Amino acid sequence: MIQINDIIAQLEQLHQGAKEAIATVESLEKLEDLRINYLGKKGQVSKILGTMGKLSPEERPKVGAIANTIKQGIQTNLDKKRSNLQAIQIAAQLKSETLDVSMPGVYRSQGKIHPLNGLIDRALDIFVGLGYTISTGPEMENDYYNFEALNTPPDHPARDMQDTFYLSDGNLMRTHTSSVQIRYMEKHEPPIRVIAPGRVYRRDTVDATHAAVFHQIELLAVDEGLRFSDLKGTIKEFLRQMFGDLPIRFRPSYFPFTEPSAEVDLEWNGKWLEVLGCGMVDPNVLQEVGYDPEKYTGFAAGFGVERFAMVLHQIDDIRRVYASDLRFLQQF
Ligand code: DAH
C-alpha cells in the first residue's frame, strides 16, 4: 500500500538530488539533459506523480501542490544555472576573441630597389626628359659588335684597354655597352637619340674601384649638324641633374670609335674621379652601319654606373655594392 508520506519523501529527495546535480553541472548541454531527466514528460517527477493514482482523492491535491512547488523549485534552479553558464560562456568567448589594437604588428621587412638599379632608373629618367629612347642589347656578343664595327680591328692596340672574357664558341662577353650603338644604328635611321643601360664584363683584377662585372649606360646621338658643343652641353646637363653642381672637367682622351674623344671627371672628396668616356662618333663607325658621314655627325658616351653610385652615395669600395649585405643595402 503506497503511503502519501512515501511519495512526498520521494519528491523531496528528488528535489534535493536535482539541486545538487544542477549546482555541479558545467555545460549548457548537460544542464538540458538534467532538465529532461527531472522535468521532462517521462522524467523523474512525472514518474513519481504516476504513482499518485493509488492515493485517495483527498490526498492527491496535497501531493499535487507539493509536486508543483518542487517542479517550480527545480525550474528556478535550472533557469538560474542556465543564465549563469551563458554568462560564463559569453565571457570566455569575449576573452578569446579580444583584439588588442595596441599590440605591435608582425614585422615584415620591406624590399627596396638596389642602389645601382635606382641610379640607372634616375639616369634613364633624365635622358628620357631630354628626348632619348631606351634600348638594350645582348650581354653575350660577337667580335663584330663589340670591336670591329666600333673601328677596332683585330690587331688594334686599343683591344688591350679592355681585357675580354672570350667564350669557347668564339663569342665573348661584351666589354662595354658600345656594342648597342651598332645594333641600334643597323635598325634605325637618323636622327637618333638613344640610351642603353646594361651589364658589361672585364677580366680586371677586382679591387676597390674595379669589378669583373659592372654596369654602363651608353648614349648615342646621330643627326645632321651635331657638334662637340652639343655633346658637352648634354653631358653637363645630365651631370648637373644627377649630382648637382659638383666641379667637372673634360679631359682629352682616346677611344677607337670616337674622334675627338674625351673623358669626364667629377671632383669628389678632393679627387678627380673618372665617370665617363665620350666623343664624336668616328666617321668609320657611321660608314660601317651605312650612314653617310658627310651628311651625319654623332656623339656618344659611356657611363660607369658603379662610379656614379660611389660618388652619389659616398661609397668607398665598389665590392660593397655586390656583397648583398643588408646592413649596407638598407642605407639606401
Ligand atoms: N666604351 C667605353 C668604355 O667602356 C666608354 C665609351 C667611351 C663609350 C667613349 C662611348 C664613347 O660611347 O663615346 O671604356
The number of the ligand 1 atom at minimal distance from the alpha carbon of 219 is 12
Over residues 125-151, mean pLDDT = 97
Please state, in angstroms and rounded to a whole number, the distance separating the CA atoms of residues 278 and 303.
9
Listed range (4-13, 122-131, 179-188, 279-288) with the worst mean pLDDT: 4-13
- Residue 322: the pLDDT is 85
Render pLDDT for 96-119 as a digit per residue (tens, 0 to 9): 888 888 988 888 877 888 999 999
Say whether pLDDT at 2 is over 70.
no
Instruction: State residue 262 phi and psi, 5-degree precision.
Output: -150, 160
* CA 109 to ligand 1 center in whole angstroms: 39
* Residue 302 Cβ contacting ligand 1 at under 6 Å: yes
Architecture of domain 115-329: 2-Layer Sandwich (3.30)
Over residues 228-242, mean pLDDT = 95
Say whether pLDDT at 160 is over 80.
no
Say whether pLDDT at 87 is over 80.
yes
- Residue 229: the pLDDT is 97
* Residue 178 Cβ contacting ligand 1 at under 6 Å: yes
Say whether pLDDT at 323 is over 90.
no
The residue whose C-alpha atom lies closest to atom 8 belonging to ligand 1 is: 302
Sequence-distant (6+) residues with CB within 8 A of 41 are none
Render pLDDT for 220-233 as a digit per residue (tens, 0 to 9): 999 999 999 999 99
The residue whose C-alpha atom lies closest to atom 2 belonging to ligand 1 is: 302
The number of the ligand 1 atom at minimal distance from the alpha carbon of 279 is 13
The residue whose C-alpha atom lies closest to atom 12 belonging to ligand 1 is: 301
* CA 263 to ligand 1 center in whole angstroms: 9
* CA 262 to ligand 1 center in whole angstroms: 9
The residue whose C-alpha atom lies closest to atom 9 belonging to ligand 1 is: 278
* CA 60 to ligand 1 center in whole angstroms: 119
Say whether pLDDT at 143 is over 90.
yes
* Residue 255 Cβ contacting ligand 1 at under 6 Å: yes
The number of the ligand 1 atom at minimal distance from the alpha carbon of 218 is 12
- Residue 179: the pLDDT is 98
Strand-pair partners of 195? 134, 219
* CA 145 to ligand 1 center in whole angstroms: 14
Strand-pair partners of 197? 217
Determine if the pTM surpasses 0.85.
no
Strand, helix or coil at 248?
strand
Over residues 117-143, mean pLDDT = 96
Mutation test residue for ligand 1: of 156, 278, 308, the one with most atoms within 8 Å of CB: 278
- Residue 239: the pLDDT is 93
- Residue 173: the pLDDT is 96
Q: How confident is the model at residue 318 (pLDDT cuts 50, 70, 90)?
A: confident
- Residue 86: the pLDDT is 92
Distances (CA, A) of 290 to 67, 115, 134, 188: 117, 39, 22, 11
Over residues 54-82, mean pLDDT = 87
Helices marked H in 51-203 — which ranges?
59-96, 115-129, 143-146, 179-187
Amino acid at 136: T
Mean residue pLDDT of the chain comes to 91
- % of the chain exceeding 70 in pLDDT: 99
Say whether pLDDT at 1 is over 60.
no
Say whether pLDDT at 311 is over 90.
no
Say whether pLDDT at 63 is over 80.
yes
* Residue 300 Cβ contacting ligand 1 at under 6 Å: yes
* Residue 48 Cβ contacting ligand 1 at under 6 Å: no
Render pLDDT for 117-128 as a digit per residue (tens, 0 to 9): 999 999 999 999
Render pLDDT for 162-221 as a digit per residue (tens, 0 to 9): 689 999 999 999 999 999 999 999 999 999 999 999 999 998 888 888 889 999 999 999
| Residue 89 backbone zone (phi > 0: left; psi -120 to 50: alpha; other: beta) | alpha
